[in-house]
Structure 1
C-alpha cells in the first residue's frame, strides 16, 4: 500500500463507548505525504523527480511558472516524452500562453492534482524552480498544511559550474531551434513582455533581433544582434539561478523547512563522460534522494546519522550559504 493512503485512527472508540458517541477520527488521521524537489534552474530537478517517480508509485506536479504554459517547449526547457520515462506529469503545458497564471491559480490546480494523486494511492512529487509557487502552497494554504506533510529535496550545484552548464545549455537550445520557435510568436506591434509566456527568458531578449530582421537589416547587423541576444539569454538565466538560490535560503530561514541538500556539482563536472556523470548522479543525488524519500514515506524511525549520510537536513552552514554569493 502506498504511504499516502489514509490510515485508520490510532485509537478507536465504539459508538456507545462515550456518552454521545464522540468521534475522534479526524484528530488522529495521519497526514498524507508530499515530496518537493527544489533547486535553481539547470540543476536537474526534473531529472531527480523522474528518477524518484520511477522508483515509487508516484506522479509529478510541475511548479515551474513558465512550463505550465502551452508552447515554447525549447525556450522553457520542458522535458521530452522520452525524458519523462512514462511518468505522469500534471500542470505541464496546459495553460493558455497569453493568460497570467498566478500563485493562487497554482495553489488551486496543484491542490486538485495532489488530491487526485493521493486518492489513487500514489505519491505526489512537486518539482520546479518557481519557489514563490511552493511558498504560497506550503505556507499560506491552511488546508494544505492540515492535510499534508512535506519533505524537501534541494538539488544544488556550485554557481561557477552551474553558470558554465547554463551557457552550454543555451547553445544547445539555439541549435535545437530556439530562434525559430520564438519567431513564430513575435509580433512587431507588441512590445509588452510582462504577460503570460512572453515573460520567459529567451523571448524578450530576441525582440531587437526580430525587429531588425523585419526592417531588412544587413546580415552583419543581424548576426551581431543575434549574438547579443544569446549572450543576454545566458546572462539572465544565470541571474535567475542566483535569485532562485537566494530564495531557497530565505525560505529555509523563514519557515524552517525540513530540507535535504543534494550536491550535484561532481556529476556536472563529469558531464563530458556520460557513464561517469550518471554514476556520480546516482551516488550523490538519485541514490541519497531515494533513501531520504523512503525514510520519509515508510520508516520515520530512521536514525539521524543515516539521514545525514544520505544528504541530511540542511542547517545552512556558512560553507553552504556562501554558494549564493
Structure 2
C-alpha cells in the first residue's frame, strides 16, 4: 500500500500483514480511503484471474474506488512463481519509509471463522447441480404454466411472492455462485495442481469429488464432498499458522518494528453492526493513530 501526493512523501509504504481471513483487504481499503494511497496485492494466488470466490478477492464495489494492482491480472494457467523483487536481505527497508501493521486474531477464534466462511461459500451452491437439472429447473420457472400461476397468486399475496420470485431469479443468474460450482467450472482431470491458480486452497481438495461425481449415488457424493470441505478447512487453518509463524519471525528474530493490532474481539461479535463498531474501535482507529505520525514525519 503506497502513499503519495500532498504532504505525503512518495517513498512511504504501509505493509498490512496477517493470516488469511483476518481482514487485511478491508483494512487496506479503509485506510486508503482516508489517505492518498493505492493498494498493491501481495497474495501469490489472488494475482491470478478467476476463482474470485475461492481466492476471496475483493469485488469492484468493495474496493471503494481505490486503485488495486496485481489483483486478478495474471492468466490462470501461467506459472507466476518468480519473486517480483529479489531482495533476500530486505534492503528495501533502507530505501523506503516503512510502517508495518499486523492484524492478529486468536487462533481458535480465527479457525472458527474460517470454518464458517468455508461453509458459507459451499452453502451458496444451494442451486448447484448438474447442468441438465439446472436447465430443467430454469425452464419450469419460466414456463407459461408457472407464469400463469404467478398471475393468480399475485392477487392474493403479491408482495411475498414477488420477493420470492426476485430472489429465485437472483440465484438463477449466478450471482450466488458458490465454491463447488466455481471450482467445477475450471475442473480438468489433466490439470497440474502445482501450477497457476489451481494451487489455490479449495481446488486440489475438490479433485476426487469431481472425478467421481458422475459415477456415485447422492449419499456417496455428499460424503465425498463433506470430506473435501473438511480438508479445505484444515489446509486453510494450516496456512494461517504458517503465515503467523513467518510474521512472528520477522518481529521477534529479525526485529522488524511491526505494530500488532489484536482484532479478535471483532470476530467474536454476533451481529454485523457490533462487528463493524468493534472494527472501527479496535482496528481502524488504532491504525490511524499509528499512521498519523508516520505520514506526517
Distance of 2:238 and 2:69 partners within structure 1: 27
- Name structure 2 gaps, 5 residues minimum: 1-5, 125-176
Distance of 1:186 and 1:180 partners within structure 2: 10
Q: 2:183 — aligned with what?
A: 182
Distance of 1:275 and 1:247 partners within structure 2: 33
Aligned residues: 239
CA shift for structure 1 position 253: 2.7
Structure 1 residues 24-103: aligned runs within 5 Å: 32-103=11-82
Q: 1:25 — aligned with what?
A: none
1:166 aligns with 2:114: yes
Distance of 2:45 and 2:261 partners within structure 1: 24
Deviates more, 1:82-91 or 1:181-190: 181-190
Higher relative contact order (CA 8 A, sep 6+): 2
Could you give the per-residue CA deviations for residues 65-109 of structure 1, whole angstroms, max 9, x where no partner exists? 1100000000100011121111110000001111122252x33xx
Could you give the per-residue CA deviations for residues 167-199 of structure 1, whole angstroms, max 9, x where no partner exists? 111112221411111111111233x31111111
Could you give the per-residue CA deviations for residues 204-251 of structure 1, whole angstroms, max 9, x where no partner exists? 00000000014x211111111111111111111011111111111112
CA shift for structure 1 position 147: 2.8
Q: Report the secondary structure of 2:13's partner residue.
A: strand
Deviates more, 1:204-213 or 1:245-254: 245-254
Could you give the per-residue CA deviations for residues 27-70 of structure 1, whole angstroms, max 9, x where no partner exists? xxxxx110000000011111111110010011100011110000
Q: 2:213 — aligned with what?
A: 213
| Residue 102 of structure 2, aligned match among 138, 147, 154 | 154
Structure 1 residues 256-275: aligned runs within 5 Å: 256-270=255-269, 272-275=270-273
Distance of 1:172 and 1:82 partners within structure 2: 20
User: Taking structure 1 as the reference length, what is the TM-score of the superposition?
Assistant: 0.71
Q: Could you say what the CA RMSD is over the residues aligned between the two structures, in angstroms?
A: 1.5
Distance of 2:266 and 2:101 partners within structure 1: 17
